Amino acid sequence: GAGVSQSPRYKVTKRGQDVALRCDPISGHVSLYWYRQALGQGPEFLTYFNYEAQQDKSGLPNDRFSAERPEGSISTLTIQRTEQRDSAMYRCASSWGPGELFFGEGSRLTVL
Amino acid sequence: KNEVEQSPQNLTAQEGEFITINCSYSVGISALHWLQQHPGGGIVSLFMLSSGKKKHGRLIATINIQEKHSSLHITASHPRDSAVYICAVDNNDMRFGAGTRLTVKP
């Protein structure tokens, strides 16, 4: 696609529900990064992939968070048993290897 | 201690002033990114540096690998430069500074 696409743009859910956030990177981009950003804060790294391989998941806050990129393109970030503290903007970025980052518009998650 | 420290946190300038935003990091890196986030929330990449200096229009970015320090300069600042500027270091993952909120007044 022309840019990094994320969906849904907005998600409101009740505490305890599972959510899945999708990132569709720029076609051909090898690296895909997931971040989250609380209001007024800088981005916080969550995890990243090279192709389909998850390279580093040290930024995932706990085991309720998981991510996959099974075919090396679209990625899904899943949050199980959501909690209010999970509320944030979840952003995805992609790059062709060690190159310029291209960011999606983000998915704003609100957990009630 | 954060692995990526930015200063200042907030910066207010008059139109036309020369702006410098600093980034220091404590880890080995393969590249450093300067990002711009506008009030609407979208993030765009300004520069990716692994050494030396890059210039794009009124923006200049420098990096000193030995000192683990980078600076972003804006010459002849303009109100439309008002944004949050974020430094991010690539160390097989991505670590971000907290950002510098720049306000340029007319």
Per-residue pLDDT of B13-23, as tens digits, reads: 999 999 999 99
**And the tokens for A65?**
């968070």
Amino acid (one-letter) located at B67: E
Task: Round to whole Å and give the CA distance between B14 and B11.
Answer: 10
Structure tokens, A46: 């969550």
- How many A-B residue pairs are in contact by the CB < 8 A criterion? 55
Give the whole-angstrom CA distance, residue B49 versus residue B80: 24
Q: Between A59 and B16, whose confidence is greater?
A: B16
Q: Please determine, for residue A1, whether its predicted confidence score (pLDDT) is greater than 60.
A: no
A3 or A99: which leads in pLDDT: A3
- pLDDT band of B1, cuts 50, 70, 90: low
- Residue labelled with tokens 């804006």: B74
Q: Which of B105, B30, B20, B36 is nearest to B70 (CA)?
A: B20
Residue with tokens 């979840």: A90
Best of A23, A32, A95 to substitute, by most chain B Cβ atoms within 10 angstroms, is A95
CB atoms A103 and B45 under 8 Å: yes
Please count the residues of chain A. Answer: 112
In angstroms, the CA B68 to CA B4 distance is 10
